[in-house]
Amino acid sequence: MRSMLPELELFAAIARHGNFGRAAAERKVSTSMASQGMRKLEDQLGVVLLRRTTRSVAPTAAGAELLASLEPGLRQIQDAVERVNLHRGTPIGSLRINAPAPIAQFLLAPLAARFTRDHPDVAIEIVAEAALQDIVLEGFDAGVRFGNDVPQDMVAVRIGNAQRYAIVASPDYLDGRAPPLAPRDLVRHECIRRSFPGGSLQTWAFQRRTAKVELPPGRIVVNDAQIAVNAALAGGGLAYVHEKYVEREIAEGCLVRLLEPWSPGIGAPYLYYPRQRYLSAALRTFIDLAREKGRAEN
């Protein structure tokens, strides 16, 4: 009987991504081949494994049961391959890294460009997500988070300096308005609010001890930091974002930083990975590059 391992690996990738296209890219096949492979697997097993709609793909009850039994075995196979790769010096394969958007955009993207240029046999997938993910359960090789957000059971490597949030507004918006000198003054300003998937609004935290400030709901609400920056640039009000999003705009005078003494720190970014794991040559080399970058910033 022909091994079903390729189709089983494909099924696990589709279930993990919830998307045929991304799973196909990971497995280095076309989307149509991925679809054909799944149909072949379901035909061989005589059961439907995936529930497909126009918007999503998710395991059926049978698929979820198979996945739960399958994933430990696939991880063992991957670990075995990685142990073999320890004997070769050239990094190969792929890396999946999870990080919040500011880290993904301003730190990991440049690192990935340099790494793949130096190591053409390695592909890197960066997934930007605000919510903390279980990187083992979700199939990531590593994650990056700020300081206190790193899970305690992981090995963590500092890869950058401590960072802060920034409150900014455009000169046009501030023209004729008194700039806020303390957080309590924000109630007299247009605050561009950021929403989260559950519908809650981002809290504006401050460094100094101060009475809790109830911000107005905001006439502009966005779900993305860069959109908040663009709205602030257009004179829509004050934006509260990771300082990396606005460094250039502040330097060029397009935005004015406000309440800087109150700007809260976020902590330093750390790359982390499972403690009880054999490191592939690719991950080990990427960690070394990220650590080198972090040391250069200190």
Domains of the chain: 5-85 (1.10.10.10), 93-162+268-297 (3.40.190.10), 163-264 (3.40.190.10)
Which pLDDT belongs to residue 88?
59
**CA 31-35-38 angle, 5° bins:** 135
Handedness of CA 88, 92, 96, 100 (dihedral sign): positive
Measured distance CA(195)–CA(9) in Å, rounded: 36
- Name the E strands within 148-268: 154-158, 163-169, 193-194, 221-222, 239-242, 256-258, 265-267
The whole model's pTM is what?
0.68
Q: What is the pLDDT of residue 209?
A: 63
* pLDDT of residue 25 exceeding 80: no
pLDDT digits (tens, 9 = 90+) for 10-21: 888 888 888 888
Let me know: does 17 contact 23? Beta carbons within 8 Å. yes
Mean pLDDT of 92-96: 89
Tell me what the mean pLDDT of segment 245-255 comes to: 97
The mean-pLDDT minimum among 128-142, 208-222, 233-247 falls in 208-222
Looking at residue 253, its amino acid is G
Residue 206 is predicted with a pLDDT of 87
Helix (H, G, I), strand (E, B) or coil at 72: helix
Region 186-199: mean pLDDT is: 90
Which residues does 242 contact at the CB level (< 8 Å), separation at least 6? 102, 163, 165, 166, 225, 266
pLDDT 10s digits, 107-152? 999 999 999 999 999 999 999 988 778 887 788 899 999 887 888 8
Average of per-residue pLDDT values in the chain? 87
Q: How confident is the model at residue 1 (pLDDT cuts 50, 70, 90)?
A: very low
Helix (H, G, I), strand (E, B) or coil at 203: coil
Number of helices (H) and strands (E) in the chain: give both, helices first.
10, 13
Q: Using a pLDDT cut of 70, give the percent of the chain over it.
A: 94
**How many C-beta atoms surround the C-beta of residue 209 within 10 A?**
5
Q: What are phi and psi of 46, to 5 degrees?
A: 70, 30
Q: What digits encode the pLDDT tens for the residues 150-189?
A: 888 889 999 988 989 999 999 999 999 999 999 999 999 9
Question: Tens digit of pLDDT for each residue in 28-87?
Answer: 788 888 888 889 888 888 989 998 887 778 889 988 898 888 888 887 877 776 666 665
pLDDT band at 104, cuts 50/70/90? very high
Is-contact 155 272, C-beta < 8 A? yes
Which string of DSSP letters, residue by residue, matches 82-111?
HHHHTT-SS--EEEEEEE-HHHIIIIIHHH
pLDDT at 274: 85
